[in-house]
Structure 1
């Protein structure tokens, strides 16, 4: 079948936000009396705030998210597209592919910190934290994407940078793709495909017969 729906994680996959996110977590946790190194707070990457706090065994009040978003303002300018990702997205769109985002970011964060990237010009469907009850690695966010678009799982691929992204895709029966172009060194044997460069996704979309054989995975 044709692979028509390319769905992406946001942070660490399309946009390099790792330094900004980690510095914000470190900064905000310090306000609550916690001292964590940047390496220690890496466990929060790719998950919601509540799960991140649980992983760090940190306790915070209901103001934590507001404080985090306020502090992120100071670091958000460090974020930018990974080299080649914007061009890859434009090529996919030009070839008639449907582009989607499934992210653990909240709607407020998405509107506040990603508006400058003009993502709405490229993506037709965006699934964020508030859109589902369960979150990655649960498959519900991808099920929500397929519900809204009417896409069959056999024509979808979900591409991310974390094991939770791969597990979400596999749990949903969607082809899973792991990116390594962010230099994180993270690997995941469960990933059906690995992409070392955005050009490899372009190659996938431009394969000679225009189709993708799932049986080869």
Structure 2
């Protein structure tokens, strides 16, 4: 699974943090195009366009995010979904473009870290989504064939990474995910709520798909 925008409602904070960093260093907020582009992208990759000021911008962004990370909460239905999946003996893992200390804080603050047997952040992988390697690495940690996995996320890069790794892909629309953008990537499944994911997997257990 993806983390930000899929399990936790954190994208608003990322945009606020970037706005803060841009205003402090560049004297301007993010443009509309920049706001759309930064979602789901590693911070170093996004800031690479500002080589002379990227470190300073990054320090302001990280400070703002750290000061407000306690406000990041789970989407409705997420904890129930995770509990139900574990009860059915599914192995759960996270692949995120988030920094490790922020990802751990979001998971621990919301008391869901223990649900996951693998958590891979941007520091754990030599490539980032949409490259398939992070998802393949997660499947290896879980000791599962990628073809037997489903990766669920809210961004185009999530669906692309799932396809590239030969996993089933699930588009999560309960958070930041936008149907008109994700459907173009032809996800295997589209979920409007976490409970719809549970319904699908219940059908799988009953051999209906």
- What is the TM-score with the length of structure 2 in the denominator? 0.88
Q: Which residue of 2 aligns with 1:99?
A: 92
Deviation at 1:71, TM superposition (A): 0.9
1:211 is displaced (CA, Å) by: 4.2
1:119 aligns with 2:115: no
- Whole-Å separation in 2 of the counterparts to 1:71 and 1:183: 21
RMSD, aligned CA: 2.0
How far apart, CA to CA, are the structure 2 residues paired with 1:112 and 1:101? 14
Residues 92-126 of structure 1 deviation map (CA, whole Å, 9 limit, x = unaligned): 11111111100011212223444211222211111
Cross-structure match for 1:202:
198
Structure 2 spans left out of the alignment, 5+ residues: none
Displaced runs of 4+ in structure 1, greater than 6 A?
none
Greater helix proportion: 2
Distance in structure 1 (CA, Å) of the matches to 2:113 and 2:131: 25
Alignment of 1:164-203 (within 5 A): 164-182=157-175, 184-186=177-179, 187-188=181-182, 189-190=184-185, 191-203=187-199
Count of residues paired in the alignment: 204
TM-score (structure 1 length as normaliser): 0.85
Matches for 1:30-49 after TM superposition, within 5 Å:
30-37=23-30, 39-40=32-33, 41-49=35-43
Q: Quick one: which of 19, 27, 50 aligns to 1:26?
A: 19
Aligned partners of 1:15 and 1:79 also within 8 Å: yes
Does the 8 A contact of 2:117 with 2:142 survive in 1?
A: no
Residue 139 in structure 1 maps to residue 132 in structure 2? yes
